[in-house]
Amino acid sequence: MIFMVTQWIPYHKTNEWFETFKKVSGSLPSYIKKWQMFSTPDKELGFKGYNLIMVEKGNADDGIIEISKLISPFWKIEGFAMKIEVVTGLKDSLKIVGKSL
């Protein structure tokens, strides 16, 4: 299962975000196979972050709980916003429409 967490951090809150990030970053449970982070400026909204998180098959429930626990400290930052989505790779997306490569 792949989750995409999109988050927005106001520009003037980046120091607060970084301090929180240092506190929550560390080891992940073994069922979270990969966690990649990307960011870009998003006009007046601040930095927009993309987190692509690969969770081992059969561990989606545990994965979403762990992801939410790791992100929850950021909710205290004024102006922080986020959303979590389930995304699929190309092969699975093609299966949905009855196609294959």
For 87, the token pair is: 């995304």
Q: What's the pLDDT score for residue 27?
A: 84
Q: What's the pLDDT score for residue 32?
A: 96
15-35 pLDDT per residue, tens: 999 999 999 988 899 999 999
Q: What's the pLDDT score for residue 42?
A: 92
Fold held by 2-96: Alpha-Beta Plaits (3.30.70)
Question: How far is Cα 49 from Cα 21, in angstroms, rounded to an integer?
Answer: 13
| Measured torsion, CA atoms of residues 93, 94, 100, 101, in degrees rounded to the nearest 10 | -70
Helix (H, G, I), strand (E, B) or coil at 24: helix
Structural domain boundaries of the chain? Answer: 2-96
